[in-house]
Every structure is written in C-alpha cells, then in structure tokens.
C-alpha cells in the first residue's frame, strides 16, 4: 500500500508528457507535448497542453483545444473549429481551417500563413517570407510581412495596420528585389490603414475600406 502514491505520481507524469511521434486520438486528453525529432498528430475533439517540436510538424484535427504551439522545422495546421493560445514557427507554414481561434498571435519566419471563414486572431500576424492568405478572418491587431505576398478576401477585418516592411540587412549578390503582391478584396476592412515601407504591386478593390495608405519609401 505504501508504494501506491509513487505509482500514481508516475502515472500522472506520463499523462502530462509525450514522446516524439505520439498521436492523441479523437477525444483524447494530454498534457504538454515536447519533441526534438518527430512531429505530433492530435485528433478531433481533443484537449492538450503546450506542443513544442524542433524537427517535425504539428497537425491538430477539428474542434480541438491546444495551448501554445511552437515548431522550429515543421509546419503547423489546425482543423475547423480548433483553438490555440499562440502559434510560433521558424521554418514552416501555418494552415488553419474555418472557425479557428488563436487567442494571441501567429508568428512565422519562413512559411506562409492561411486562415479561412470565421477564424479569429486575438493579436497579430507576422512573417518574413511566405504568403499571408486570409478569407473572412478577424484580426485583433496588426499584420506585418516583408517578402510574402498578401491576399485578404471575404469579410476579413484587421483592427490594426497592414504593414509591408522594408527588408533589413545588407545584400550584395542575388538579391530578390521583386515587388510583393498585395491583394485587398471588396469586403475587406483595415481599420489602421496600410503602411508600405517598400514598393508593392497593390491590387485594391475600390469598395474595400482600408483607411490611409502611407508610403514610406523613395521611388
């Protein structure tokens, strides 16, 4: 009988950690999930804590709840109706379905970001390289990118600014000086306006409500 508390404690530890390649089944429950080499697959209607991986992708099914999601080398996807606190990836994109909820922000260095109808982002969307595609999405803060094209369609609403930032650092050879394409659909609203720190190919529907367009570069 004296060994029972140790057994319970060990069992609790297993329930809050996961090894590489662990799958959480539909309706499953799991604590934090951490991996160096290997991704995670989380089923529908599941609940897990924070998910962190270095080399491997993270796939979340439909109507599931997740804490913070971090990936260094690997993409991240959330199915329809799923939610997460925050999403952060370095080399890999983020793809969300419909009615996805991100409590805070989505950050990516090298990877596209896409979300669909009914999805909400509490704070910001940021990336450097990769397309940002939002269709009927509510963004509580700002959208920022450097080289990625941007396409906002449907009833997308950005409560902050859309900023296309100037590339940083020095460039001596093989520089990519192509102008990013920015497409703003008819029903899009950008409360804080558009800030252009570099030249872009701006395709703005006349019916869109975008506030001021500020050009911060020299021709």
- The answer to whether residue 194 scores a pLDDT higher than 50 is yes
Q: What is the pLDDT of residues 80-109, one digit of tens each?
A: 999 999 999 999 999 999 999 999 999 999
Distances in Å between the alpha carbon of 216 and those of 127, 147, 167, 196, 198? 19, 16, 13, 6, 7
The average pLDDT across 198-216 equals 96
pTM above 0.75, yes or no: yes
Q: Is 201 exposed, middle or buried (0-12, 13-18, 19+ CB in 10 A)?
A: exposed
Element (DSSP H or E) covering residue 8: helix 4-15
The average pLDDT across 186-212 equals 97
DSSP 8-state secondary structure symbol assigned to residue 63? T
Termini Cα distance of the chain:
80
> With bands split at pLDDT 50, 70 and 90, how would you rate the model's confidence at 178?
confident
> With bands split at pLDDT 50, 70 and 90, how would you rate the model's confidence at 21?
low
- Determine phi and psi for 2, rounding to 5 degrees: -65, -25
In the predicted model, what is the mean pLDDT of the chain?
89
- The answer to whether residue 8 scores a pLDDT higher than 70 is no
Q: For a pLDDT cut of 70, what percent of the chain falls above it?
A: 86
> With bands split at pLDDT 50, 70 and 90, how would you rate the model's confidence at 161?
very high
């Amino acid at each position: 009988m004296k060994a029972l508390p140790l057994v319970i404690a060990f069992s609790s530890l297993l329930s809050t950690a996961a090894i590489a390649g662990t799958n959480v089944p539909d309706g499953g429950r799991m604590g934090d999930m951490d991996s160096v080499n290997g991704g995670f697959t989380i089923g529908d209607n599941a609940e897990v804590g924070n998910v962190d991986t270095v080399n491997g992708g993270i796939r979340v099914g439909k109507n599931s709840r997740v804490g913070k999601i971090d990936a260094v080398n690997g993409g991240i996807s959330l199915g329809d109706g799923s939610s997460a606190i925050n999403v952060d990836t370095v080399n890999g994109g983020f793809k969300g379905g419909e009615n996805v909820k991100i409590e805070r922000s989505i950050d990516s260095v090298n990877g596209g970001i896409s979300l669909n109808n009914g999805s909400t982002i509490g704070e910001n969307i940021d990336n450097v390289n990769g397309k940002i595609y939002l269709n009927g999405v509510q963004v509580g803060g700002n959208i920022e990118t450097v080289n990625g094209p941007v396409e906002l369609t449907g009833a997308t609403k950005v409560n902050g600014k859309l900023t296309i930032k100037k590339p940083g650092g020095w460039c001596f050879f093989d520089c990519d000086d192509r102008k990013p394409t920015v497409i703003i659909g008819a029903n899009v609203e950008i409360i804080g306006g558009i800030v252009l720190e570099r030249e872009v190919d701006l395709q703005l529907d006349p019916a869109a409500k975008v506030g001021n367009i500020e050009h911060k570069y020299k021709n």
